[in-house]
């Protein structure tokens, strides 16, 4: 098969591993820096241009779209979709997962456990917002944050109000969330490929931060998921329409609570820590599914 990896970082661990495994299995692979790809939008012409030439047709694409390039990257993915090219993540699903408000609504509707979450815009009903989120300490996070940037822990109502007001004046959409104390500083990342969890790691912050993102200095350790956690991860992936993704969960007294579903999860820590060959699983998934007609997205959000 001809496979394209859409990645602005050809040297990234995940990109390199996907390329390596695809080649090993006899496929032709090309890494495309989607930020340099462009296209003439005209009827009956869905070509994608790259370095002054039309790109050939691919059997499958693997979008690895960075948060900061969501709009542009998904527009390029859409262009490939218009050609009928198989994609491991649809442009619709990537966009859905990047908006936290929308993602939580979709997860809640599917019956996936999430922390108590409140969306608000004005501070007029401030006390009610704090109560709905379970009182302080509480978490306030911007709708489009990533790597732990944009997630704030407010210890007191005063601090919470000040943070919310700061976001209001800047016009930033945010959500207010119950602080899951039981697992402060840790979370679980389950990598799902084709409806199965293929690797899972527990991430913990090393410096006492409540955020466990490895970008915030968190460290990954292998973890064995409970049956409920496994099912939750698979259900969250399905709800979001992402057959290949990283599901972040927190362990709480009322079971696993999903924090987010990542459409371009890194496979680095999971592969290095668990010794599982995740890249191979992804290529196998493509081999098994690329020939089928893409399923229609029926999530409706
Ligand atoms: N409600 C919460 N309770 C406790 N810790 C949280 C909560 N939400 C987020 N965190 C911590 O902050 C980290 C980043 O939050 P997350 O929602 O995943 O945002 P990002 O997209 O920036 O990674 C999580 O991995 C977790 O460690
Ligand atoms: Mg996260």
Q: Where are the domains of the chain?
A: 2-96, 116-179, 183-289
- What is the structure's pLDDT at 40? 87
Which residue's CA is the nearest one to ligand 1's atom 19? Answer: 148
Q: Contact 140/152 with Cβ under 8 angstroms?
A: yes
Alpha carbons 278 and 71: distance in angstroms, whole number: 27
Classify domain 116-179 at the CATH superfamily level: ATP-grasp fold, A domain (3.30.1490.20)
Alpha carbons 227 and 149: distance in angstroms, whole number: 31
For the chain, residues with pLDDT lower than 50 are none
Ligand 1, residues at Cβ distance < 6 Å:
115, 139, 141, 145-151, 177-180, 184, 187, 210-213, 248, 259-260
Ordered strands of the 138-146 beta sheet: 117-120, 174-178, 138-146, 149-154
CATH for 183-289? Answer: 3.30.470.20
Is the CATH code 1.10.3720.10 the one for domain 2-96? no
Atom of ligand 1 nearest to the CA of 213: 25
Tokens at 158, concatenated: 């005063």
Alpha carbons 204 and 173: distance in angstroms, whole number: 27
The closest ligand to the CA of 249 turns out to be 1
Cα 7-204-11 angle, rounded to 5 deg:
20
Instruction: Using the mean position of ligand 1's atoms as its centre, give its distance from the Cα of residue 139 in Å.
Output: 8
Atom of ligand 1 nearest to the CA of 205: 27
Which residue's CA is the nearest one to ligand 1's atom 11? Answer: 211
The closest ligand to the CA of 220 turns out to be 1
């Amino acid at each position: 098969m001809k496979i394209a990896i859409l990645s602005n970082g050809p040297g990234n661990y995940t990109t390199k591993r996907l390329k390596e495994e695809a080649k090993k299995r006899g496929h032709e692979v090309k890494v495309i820096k989607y930020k340099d790809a462009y296209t003439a939008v005209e009827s009956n012409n869905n070509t994608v241009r790259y370095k002054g030439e039309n790109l050939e047709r691919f059997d499958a694409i693997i979008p690895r779209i960075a948060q900061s390039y969501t709009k542009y990257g998904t527009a390029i993915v859409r262009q490939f979709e218009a050609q009928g090219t198989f994609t491991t993540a649809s442009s619709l699903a990537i966009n859905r997962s990047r908006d936290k408000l929308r993602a939580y609504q979709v997860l809640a509707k599917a019956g996936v456990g999430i922390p108590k979450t409140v969306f608000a815009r004005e501070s007029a009903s401030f006390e009610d917002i704090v109560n709905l989120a379970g009182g302080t300490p509480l978490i306030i996070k911007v709708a489009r944050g990533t790597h732990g940037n944009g997630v704030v822990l407010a210890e007191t109502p005063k601090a919470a109000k000040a943070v919310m007001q700061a976001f209001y004046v800047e016009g930033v959409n945010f959500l207010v969330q119950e602080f899951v104390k039981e697992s402060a500083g840790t979370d679980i990342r389950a990598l799902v490929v084709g409806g199965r969890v293929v690797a899972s790691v527990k991430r913990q912050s090393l410096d006492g931060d409540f955020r466990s993102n490895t970008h915030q200095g968190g460290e990954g350790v292998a973890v064995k998921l409970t049956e409920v956690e496994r099912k939750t991860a698979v259900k969250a992936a399905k709800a979001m329409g992402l057959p290949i993704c990283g599901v972040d969960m927190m362990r709480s007294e009322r079971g696993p609570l999903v924090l987010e579903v990542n459409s371009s999860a890194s496979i680095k820590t999971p592969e290095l820590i668990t010794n599982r060959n995740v890249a191979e699983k992804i290529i196998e998934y493509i081999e098994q599914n690329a020939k089928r007609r893409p399923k229609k997205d029926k999530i409706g959000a």
